[in-house]
Amino acid sequence: MATEVDHIQVSDSPTGWWVDLPLTDYQAALDLQLAVVAAKIDGRLDADVVLILEHPRVFTLGRRGGRENLCVKDEFLAAKSVRVIPTGRGGNITYHGPGQLVVYPIVHLSRHRLKVVEFVSALEEAMIRTAGHWSVPAGTDPANRGVWIGADKLGSVGITVRRGVSFHGLALNVNTDMEPFGWIHPCGLAQVRMTSCEQYLGRPVPMAEARRVMAGHLAECLGLTLTTMDVVALCEKLGHRVETMSTAPCQMSSGG
């Protein structure tokens, strides 16, 4: 079930909606992002929207590709029920799965006078502060984007900007099963080792608390006031309806 974040306040800052979703099919989440982006571009939606969720196991490919960094055969992935989906985000191949905190901030960067590099740095800082809540010493690497614990990568960032509006976002390994990362060269880096908060601490982190903590830090880092919005209410505003939001593939259809 999705958790509730009643209100995250940053004084005198722009308003946005925080939409907390359950375990959600990747394609359904992408369809929802695209619907929000379209509504912001054509002026039907002024508020920024931040989606937070977890995905069933999936590999996603970035604009730079990534299938060449897949180290197992399609038959193996089919047997493991892991999909491979091309996307339009930046970066290379990455993995999403339960226990990984995924956040998609759909923000009008040009209206906030935010440069892309500043926005990406804010997403990294939100991950660093969230990990720091449990004394996990995450930081950045001048040579590679994302957040790291020493030489081990803890979280990734990959965004797309369409007519000034950002989508896609960040993925922080909280209690993630690390095995599937061994089936790829994560982010196209053959020697990179992935890690998680759970792996560092030797115990799991409550995901509901991780969502709440991330909400507060992301609001601070982006200078937003975030108020919770139910996904059904959001889809009604967009002219979409949610058929299902579950571990099974979700279907969203246009119209009412």
For the chain, helix, strand, coil in percent to 5 are: 30, 30, 35
Active site residues: 187
Q: Give strand ranges (E) for the chain.
A: 7-8, 15-23, 48-54, 58-61, 83-86, 94-96, 100-106, 139-141, 144-149, 152-162, 165-173, 193-194, 225-228, 240-242, 252-254
User: Are the CB atoms for 202 and 194 separated by under 8 Å?
Assistant: no
Nearest C-alpha neighbor of 106 from the set 44, 157, 22, 32: 32
* Bridge partners, residue 19, by sequence: 51
Cβ neighbour number for residue 22 with a 10 Å cutoff: 14
Name residue 37's beta-bridge partners.
Answer: none
Question: Rounded distance, CA 249 to CA 145, Å?
Answer: 30
